[in-house]
Structure 1
């Protein structure tokens, strides 16, 4: 992936998931939660940081995290 393509992906991720901050480091795509998870959220499986090899895999992991949070709040997604 070119630096320009990475920049596009990072921009889309930033705008789509404002509760997370994104970086690319050593060929890994990282998402870091803006507000760290509480102890209760950690026990439910919420992570402060996620790393994947590709931005699409990172989106999938974040969607899973959002599903956990939504289920906790009783919201269907």
Structure 2
């Protein structure tokens, strides 16, 4: 790991605690994230990456947030669909074309 400034060490610690499923390292100026558990074939097909690099901590957090979104919507490690959300009994999805927060 490169010699990190106090600012970079603080960001690294915050990212590691926020994204515990990923190993975070800084190498040659690039911020790397590697999944502790490799994605399943279903997760890979949905777009989950096993590792990636970004030029800084803010870009890495943005990419990790995208990865969590894919995991929340997509395939789970057990191969079932639905991500982190469960269907609420009796709840109906909004009608097609509905857009929340449009002010209309």
Q: TM-score, normalised by structure 2?
A: 0.67
State which of 34, 37, 40 in structure 1 corresponds to 2:39: 37
Is residue 71 of structure 2 the alignment partner of residue 65 of structure 1? Answer: no
State the alpha-carbon separation in 1 of the partners of residues 69 and 46 from structure 2.
11
Q: Name the one with the larger helix percent.
A: 1
Aligned residue pairs, count: 74
State the alpha-carbon separation in 2 of the partners of residues 34 and 53 from structure 1.
21
Deviation for aligned residue 1:6: 1.2
Displacement over 6 Å in runs of 4+: none
Deviation for aligned residue 1:50: 1.4
Hey, what does 1:24 align to over in structure 2?
26
Which consecutive residues of structure 1, in runs of 5 or more, have no partner in the other structure?
none
Q: Name the one with the larger strand percent.
A: 1
Which consecutive residues of structure 2, in runs of 5 or more, have no partner in the other structure?
75-81, 86-104
State the alpha-carbon separation in 1 of the partners of residues 33 and 5 from structure 2.
18
Q: Secondary structure at the match of 1:46?
A: coil
Deviation for aligned residue 1:17: 0.5
Deviation for aligned residue 1:55: 0.5
Q: TM-score, normalised by structure 1?
A: 0.89
